[in-house]
Structure 1
């Protein structure tokens, strides 16, 4: 089975998130962690930002990590010339594809876009080995124009075309049924770049893969502008367990990478964040806990060990008698039925008062004070 490429843009699109600014050491640690985990490609910045960015990217390129490094560029020759100075293996050349952006952002027409695109691609072919053509706002572009761009990109020797849902307007059914036609007419691999404005970045990315796309753009934790991008950890696990797709990344590294990015950006990981959140493998309901004890598959989407985690239990409003008895048994404590009933009532009352799950030491404090 042909594997799906995961193309990480945490160090470019992720760093465009409000308030995020990464120094070289932080970028190096993130890049090394992603490369060690087996990511296919890293988009590491925008050299046109200035000399400081060029220097940072050059230092990343000098590390010779076992992963392809590319930079992001407008379809402007000066942007590309700045990229060539960094020593990266490839460049992404981005062009607006929708009439909205061509006319109302560039103040140009389609003919100008195709001409500028062609000049930049031909120029880049002299300097780098790998060229990605990014179609900005492709989700609102005219299908006939997209087909024209694809044909020209293939003729000019582009290695991959990135279809960007720049404003996050798509939904999975439209992605699946519409983009199949793009796949059929394209002689080069297509990449889907999702934004999460409507909360559908992961679903849209999977739908694109089901439609035939061979690459998905991701960021760690979904970091990115506005509502962010498709999260690496969610896409990777969903590809493996929902679609049974082949990917190279080591899933056990995802939590470590997410923690690293969280520390570097100062953005805490939400407790219920899929895959990497503190609570996503924690069970409080006595019904769930009892079901897990009988067979993990009763309440298990996939084995948490595959992402370096494990099932845990906690005590809250919906924790029942079995949960308490199980804890007491592990502590070698035996109580009569009346005491158990009183203890359970106190535990439930305490959980409601403090509005959080109770830890084992919280439970044992109640036990000691009740006996």
Structure 2
């Protein structure tokens, strides 16, 4: 049978409808995942078309997955971060939603205080245990959407739950029906999809979910969870590791609309950001992230990274305020006490600081040579240099001009006598065994010793 496909806008043969394969032994893909070796990346050279949705957005899991790998946030911290997420999101709500635990009284108090703010975005959603009591609690709190864990690999179905595929599917569908019965939008978290039997379990299960959605009139979201970071963004990779294949298949074989698809990835193999971007490109509207990438093990997709991926793909921030990212980073360090690795892109203290003299010389002549973009404009964070044994005259001159806000005629060149004096002092420090960078306070002291009036007269 030939029918028009709403995703490709072409006439296509009616695709094969996959049925549940209720196997007696688990399929653990041992050729791909031998466990005693690094996981393999098999190719089958099958390509699927790029299908970027008309709209894409970001969702947040800072208060759920982000709390599973660190001490819980206080109610005040959650409310403060939620306010900043709202400001970052902008009037179009590009950061579309955020999910909360509601297990404890503290969790529920945080939800209540955030709801009282009255923000449309990010929408407050929950993540709960799959029990009827918890669904009722979600409804009583006025939350319209909740996440439900539906682990889909045989590692989980057989080895963790001790069930068959049919038993797991029947149990999951029963739980989803409970949510539908109380009018809650279910968001089904397909845990460990990159080790799951895609055609033997995932697609048949999602087919049943889409049938329930159509019957109830309530949208059921599908969160594609790359729980172990096994997803591969390269073209032609075989299933179940192909990010493009996972997204394309859910659309093509299970008729899941783009707006109901959400990618949730982890960074075990340094591919979290690229995989989330690929999910967008191949038809998934939502990329699920956490602030600073904080999450289980190696963490989630960093939300701040996807803000810039969004702007790179769309050519605009669409109303998002990226300067809030710097405020968030400062809040984590100063108020929460979280140490951000200094080399972390966009938020680390060294991400736009150079220690190399040749780079500093370039910055001194034209900041654009060695800065990724106008970080002062977009992140309210000025490009800078850290003075060390490799900074050279140019690095010291750049530091002085930046710290004392010297521009144009008042700016010092690397040939200024004071710059040479400081360079001699720095060289002497390292010749006598110093190994650390020179602090701002030390440089200020050397400058004041050389010219006590310098900071006051410039």
Q: State the TM bucket, normalised to the shorter chain.
A: 0.7 to 0.9
- Give 1:362's aligned residue: 442
* More off after superposition, 218-227 vs 348-357: 348-357
Offset, 1:280 = 1.0
CA distance in 1, matches of 2:114, 2:447: 56
- Give 1:283's aligned residue: 354
Seen in structure 2, the aligned counterparts of structure 1 residues 335 and 210 have a Cα distance that, compared at 3 Å, is closer
What is the DSSP-based 3-state SS (H/G/I as helix, E as strand, rest coil) of the residue aligned with 1:240?
Answer: helix
Seen in structure 2, the aligned counterparts of structure 1 residues 160 and 328 have a Cα distance that, compared at 3 Å, is closer
Within-5 A mapping of 1:287-366: 287-304=358-375, 305-324=377-396, 343-350=422-429, 353-359=433-439, 362-363=442-443, 365-366=445-446
- Give 2:96's aligned residue: 40
CA distance in 2, matches of 1:247, 1:332: 37
1:100 matched to 2:155? The reply is yes
Offset, 1:340 = 6.8
CA distance in 1, matches of 2:68, 2:344: 21
Q: Which runs of 5+ in 2 are unaligned?
A: 1-52, 90-94, 214-218, 235-240, 452-458
- Give 1:251's aligned residue: 322
1:143 to 190, 198, 221: 198
- Deviations along 1:348-369, one digit per CA (max 9) or x if unpaired, are 3425744333355534544666
CA distance in 2, matches of 1:113, 1:243: 40
CA distance in 2, matches of 1:363, 1:50: 50
What is the DSSP-based 3-state SS (H/G/I as helix, E as strand, rest coil) of the residue aligned with 1:131?
Answer: strand
What is the DSSP-based 3-state SS (H/G/I as helix, E as strand, rest coil) of the residue aligned with 1:71?
Answer: strand
Seen in structure 2, the aligned counterparts of structure 1 residues 90 and 151 have a Cα distance that, compared at 3 Å, is same
CA distance in 1, matches of 2:389, 2:163: 61
- Deviations along 1:80-124, one digit per CA (max 9) or x if unpaired, are 233223221211122111111011221122222322332333332
Seen in structure 2, the aligned counterparts of structure 1 residues 184 and 307 have a Cα distance that, compared at 3 Å, is farther
CA distance in 2, matches of 1:130, 1:308: 39
2:114 to 41, 49, 60: 60
- Deviations along 1:300-355, one digit per CA (max 9) or x if unpaired, are 32321212222122322222233445667858889989997675343134257443
- Give 1:187's aligned residue: 256
The answer (yes or no) to whether the contact 1:175–1:208 under 8 Å persists in 2 is: no
Query: With structure 2 as the length reference, what TM-score do the two structures score?
Result: 0.71
* More off after superposition, 196-205 vs 272-281: 196-205
- Give 2:18's aligned residue: none
* More off after superposition, 96-105 vs 264-273: 264-273
CA distance in 2, matches of 1:253, 1:114: 42
1:12 matched to 2:64? The reply is yes
CA distance in 2, matches of 1:165, 1:327: 43
Higher helix share: 1
* More off after superposition, 304-313 vs 258-267: 258-267
CA distance in 2, matches of 1:16, 1:103: 24
Seen in structure 2, the aligned counterparts of structure 1 residues 334 and 90 have a Cα distance that, compared at 3 Å, is closer
1:178 matched to 2:245? The reply is yes
CA distance in 1, matches of 2:371, 2:220: 40
Offset, 1:150 = 2.3
1:2 matched to 2:57? The reply is no
Seen in structure 2, the aligned counterparts of structure 1 residues 319 and 139 have a Cα distance that, compared at 3 Å, is same
* More off after superposition, 330-339 vs 355-364: 330-339
CA distance in 2, matches of 1:301, 1:370: 35
How many residue pairs were aligned? 368
* More off after superposition, 343-352 vs 2-11: 343-352
Within-5 A mapping of 1:83-232: 83-128=138-183, 130-144=185-199, 145-157=201-213, 158-173=219-234, 174-179=241-246, 180-185=248-253, 186-189=255-258, 190-232=261-303
CA distance in 2, matches of 1:247, 1:338: 48
Seen in structure 2, the aligned counterparts of structure 1 residues 246 and 98 have a Cα distance that, compared at 3 Å, is farther
CA distance in 2, matches of 1:312, 1:327: 7
The answer (yes or no) to whether the contact 1:54–1:85 under 8 Å persists in 2 is: no
Seen in structure 2, the aligned counterparts of structure 1 residues 85 and 335 have a Cα distance that, compared at 3 Å, is closer
What is the DSSP-based 3-state SS (H/G/I as helix, E as strand, rest coil) of the residue aligned with 1:96?
Answer: coil
Please report the RMSD computed on the Cα atoms of aligned residues, expressed in angstroms: 3.1
CA distance in 2, matches of 1:159, 1:327: 54
2:125 to 70, 77, 92: 70
